[in-house]
């Protein structure tokens, strides 16, 4: 008998233990299988999540951030919705876009592929003509049936053209990724920025000069130009050219402390987005390429040379009572003062006789050395490929010394005149002209040409030319404008052309502390009723320079100053009316109207 009572339920049999064990084991197997299935399903789901997440992220990356480009379009930085361009942007000093690139495609064909597909070249050409009407059917068919490996059919398709051509489904037609250069301001900066050819290679201006840098550098090329100043100069120069029915002109603004050019305009100009043929005169940059006899504006350099030599002072006087006869030539002043004149009077009244005698006093060698130091005898070192060389007399005789004193016998570019004048007023240091922006406050390289005292005297004299001489129409209240007029007849066949003149006004302001120099030159102005028949610079170029200064001075942050009497200047004698001077170099009369 068992000592313990039985725990079995009623009706429970001994065989039930085995069955219960089997049931427990089956339940465990099912549970393990179920858990395994759940784990595998979870792992599979996680795998799909990872895969699709990766694909989604890659899609976002490609769509928004991918910077990889085709070999045809290069790997350079751009600003076109994440597509990098092979050519860097060009901007003005304030970051305004002057030149940029846009992605584009070009249509080309592989004639072998057309033949392999048994496509009819004439039919294909006719279908292409329906969406690209500018394509001649016969010429296109000839290209499609040629033996060449590939032929270009149309460069730089628009997105609509690309879509329409692609929809034609013509075998053998393919598209090449590339870029097209655009110039948002059109003609405004055409001579400076230049342009590229159909293969996007620079062929003029900054585009050509910095071809390698624009392709290799990852940053925009920043120019010294200020598009606001450029616009004002072009507007006023265009107004003057149209008003006086001139054949062209040039205008520039320079920072006299650094040599940076804030504006450079040459008229006529062109649109680099649709450039003219290579023989078009509008492609010629008068500011840097043309070499001209600059007339009486050169008297500034003659006067500075005389004062710098130490042999002549503001109190020195020279005989202008009668014409100067030298080496068989006669130099005289029309509307002459017929008296001895001091150095300030010679400049104010633009006396050829006085200027010639001053140059003879200093000497030929000193004149040539001075003009060399101030940049008149070699091409200017500007960052443009279109630069002209000065026309220098050889041999340099005393008669050349005389005529150069009043702006004939030596031809220079307008840019040289501007940078030389900046040297005279900025304290006497020459800064090479540049189209590249300097760092803020950076003066740039330079070297001394004249003493600060000579520069101070030249500023006073230039101010007097505007207040008392031929530059009165360039005066702007509050900005102490100084300058010099120059009107020179242009050389022609058999001598000088009396009615074809270059009228120039070179200015600087404010003369108590010069910041900027301005040059306006008008090529062959015609007389008008408003100028009483005069075509001289005092009536044509000086007013345009005054309008430019009046607009750009406040824009550049210069505050106008109240008018104050000028300080006394030595060498001021009896005042006379401005002279009209003539000379006869080489037996031909040359008129200098100011």
CA atoms in the 13 A half-sphere facing the CB of 558: 24
Total residues found in the chain within this entry: 594
- Cα dist. 529→52, 245, 311 in Å? 81, 13, 45
Closest CA to 479 of 578, 555, 428, 572: 555
pLDDT of 584 strictly over 50: no
Closest CA to 286 of 40, 29, 467, 524: 524
The reply to whether omega before 510 is within 30° of 0 (cis) is yes
Closest CA to 192 of 17, 21, 437: 437
The C-alpha atoms of residue 88 and residue 198 are separated, in whole angstroms, by: 17
Query: Mean per-residue pLDDT for 431-435?
Result: 96
Neighbouring residues of 7: CB distance < 8 A, sequence distance ≥ 6: none
Read out DSSP for 359-374? HHHH-HHHHHHHHHHT
Residue 5 pLDDT grade (very low, low, confident, very high; cuts 50, 70, 90): very low
Give per-residue pLDDT as tens, 230-266: 999 999 999 999 999 999 999 999 999 999 999 999 9
Query: Mean per-residue pLDDT for 336-348?
Result: 94
Q: What are the b/e assignments for 74-113, b being 16+ CB within 10 Å?
A: bebbbeeeebbbbbbbbbbbeebbbbbbbbbbbbbbbbee
Give per-residue pLDDT as tens, 163-216: 999 999 999 999 999 899 999 999 999 999 999 998 899 999 999 999 999 999
The better pLDDT of the pair 394, 570 is held by: 394
pLDDT of 9 strictly over 70: no
Closest CA to 104 of 152, 67, 156: 156
Is 53 a residue of the active site? Answer: no
Give per-residue pLDDT as tens, 17-68: 545 555 555 456 566 666 666 777 776 767 766 666 666 666 555 444 444 3
Radius of gyration of the chain (CA): 39
Give per-residue pLDDT as tens, 525-536: 999 988 888 899
pLDDT of 311 strictly over 80: yes
Residue 585 pLDDT grade (very low, low, confident, very high; cuts 50, 70, 90): very low
Give per-residue pLDDT as tens, 109-128: 999 998 989 999 999 999 99
Query: According to the model, what pLDDT value does residue 82 have?
Result: 46
Joined together, the tokens standing for residue 72 give 């045809």
Question: What's this model's pTM, rounded to 2 decimal places?
Answer: 0.80
The answer to whether residues 559 and 523 touch, using CB atoms and an 8 Å cutoff, is no
Query: According to the model, what pLDDT value does residue 281 have?
Result: 95
Query: According to the model, what pLDDT value does residue 439 have?
Result: 80
Residue-range domains of the chain with CATH: 90-223 (3.90.1310.10), 229-268+286-560 (3.40.710.10)
- Cα dist. 77→90, 215, 222 in Å? 12, 9, 15
Query: According to the model, what pLDDT value does residue 66 have?
Result: 41
- Cα dist. 81→27, 67, 215, 360 in Å? 63, 10, 19, 66
Give per-residue pLDDT as tens, 79-116: 444 456 789 999 999 999 999 999 999 999 999 998 98
The C-alpha atoms of residue 299 and residue 424 are separated, in whole angstroms, by: 12
- Out of 73, 296, 419, 504, the active site residue is 296
Query: According to the model, what pLDDT value does residue 53 have?
Result: 66
The whole-chain average pLDDT of the chain stands at 86
Query: According to the model, what pLDDT value does residue 591 have?
Result: 38
Query: According to the model, what pLDDT value does residue 533 have?
Result: 85
pLDDT of 74 strictly over 60: no
pLDDT of 2 strictly over 90: no
Neighbouring residues of 104: CB distance < 8 A, sequence distance ≥ 6: 156, 157, 177, 178, 179, 180
């Amino acid at each position: 008998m068992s000592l313990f009572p039985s725990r079995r339920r009623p009706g429970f049999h001994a065989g039930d233990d085995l069955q219960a064990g089997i049931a427990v084991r089956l339940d465990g197997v099912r549970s393990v299988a179920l858990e395994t299935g759940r784990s595998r399903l979870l792992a599979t789901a996680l795998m799909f999540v990872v895969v699709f997440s990766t694909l989604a992220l890659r899609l976002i990356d490609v769509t928004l951030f991918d910077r990889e480009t085709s070999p045809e379009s290069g790997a350079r930085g751009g600003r076109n919705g994440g597509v990098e361009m092979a050519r860097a942007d060009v901007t003005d000093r304030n970051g305004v876009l002057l030149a940029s690139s846009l992605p584009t495609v070009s249509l080309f064909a592989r004639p072998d592929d057309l033949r392999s597909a048994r496509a009819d070249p004439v039919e294909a050409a006719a279908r292409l003509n329906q969406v690209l009407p500018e394509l001649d059917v016969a010429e296109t068919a000839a290209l499609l049936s040629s033996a060449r490996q590939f032929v270009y059919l149309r460069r730089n398709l628009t997105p609509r053209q690309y879509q329409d051509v692609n929809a034609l489904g013509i075998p053998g037609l393919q598209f090449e990724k590339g870029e097209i250069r655009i110039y948002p301001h059109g003609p405004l900066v055409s001579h400076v920025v230049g342009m590229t050819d159909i293969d996007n290679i620079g062929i003029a201006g900054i585009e050509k000069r910095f071809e390698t840098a624009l392709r290799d550098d990852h940053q925009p090329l920043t120019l010294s130009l200020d598009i606001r100043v450029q616009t004002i100069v072009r507007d006023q120069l265009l107004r003057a050219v149209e008003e006086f029915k001139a054949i062209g002109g040039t205008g520039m603004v320079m920072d006299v402390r650094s040599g940076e050019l804030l504006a450079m305009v040459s008229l006529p100009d062109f649109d680099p987005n649709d450039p003219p043929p290579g023989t078009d005169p509008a492609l010629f940059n008068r500011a840097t390429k043309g070499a001209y006899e600059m007339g009486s504006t050169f008297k500034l350099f003659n006067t500075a040379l005389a004062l710098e030599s130490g042999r002549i002072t503001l109190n020195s006087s020279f005989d202008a009572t009668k014409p100067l006869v030298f080496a068989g030539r006669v130099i005289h002043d029309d509307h002459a003062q017929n008296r001895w004149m001091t150095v300030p009077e010679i400049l104010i009244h633009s006396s050829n006789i006085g200027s010639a005698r001053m140059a003879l006093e200093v000497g030929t060698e000193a004149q040539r050395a001075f003009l060399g130091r101030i940049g008149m005898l070699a091409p200017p070192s500007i960052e443009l490929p279109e630069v002209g060389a000065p026309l220098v007399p050889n041999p340099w005789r005393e008669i050349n010394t005389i005529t150069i004193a009043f702006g004939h016998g030596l031809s220079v570019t307008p840019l040289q005149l501007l940078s030389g004048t900046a040297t005279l007023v900025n304290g006497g240091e020459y800064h090479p002209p540049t189209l590249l922006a300097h760092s803020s406050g950076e003066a740039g390289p330079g070297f001394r040409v004249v003493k600060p005292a000579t520069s101070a005297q030249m500023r006073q004299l230039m101010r007097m030319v505007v207040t008392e001489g031929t530059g009165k129409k360039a005066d702007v209240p509050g900005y102490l404008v100084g300058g010099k007029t120059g009107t020179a007849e242009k050389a022609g066949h058999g001598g000088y052309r009396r009615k074809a003149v270059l009228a120039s006004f070179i200015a600087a302001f404010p003369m108590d502390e010069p910041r900027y120099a301005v040059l306006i030159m008008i090529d062959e102005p015609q007389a008008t009723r408003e100028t009483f028949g005069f075509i001289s610079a005092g009536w044509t170029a000086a007013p345009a320079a005054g309008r430019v200064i009046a607009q750009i001075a406040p824009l550049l942050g210069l505050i106008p100053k109240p008018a104050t009497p000028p300080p006394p200047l030595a060498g001021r004698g009896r005042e006379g009316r401005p002279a009209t001077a003539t000379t006869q170099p080489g037996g031909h009369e040359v008129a200098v109207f100011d």
